[in-house]
Amino acid sequence: MDRKELIAEIQKGILDRFMELDESDKNLIRSSSGTPYAVLMRKIIGEEILSGLRSGEPTSKPKQKRGLGTR
Q: Which residue has the higher pLDDT, 57 or 70?
A: 70
pTM of the model: 0.68
pLDDT at 7 (0 to 100): 92
pLDDT band for 2, please (50, 70, 90 cuts): very high
Break the chain into its structural domains and give their ranges.
Answer: 3-50
| Whether pLDDT at 39 is above 80 | yes
User: Quick check: 62 and 31 in contact, CB under 8 A?
Assistant: yes
Could you tell me which of 60, 65, 40, 64 has the C-alpha nearest to residue 50?
40
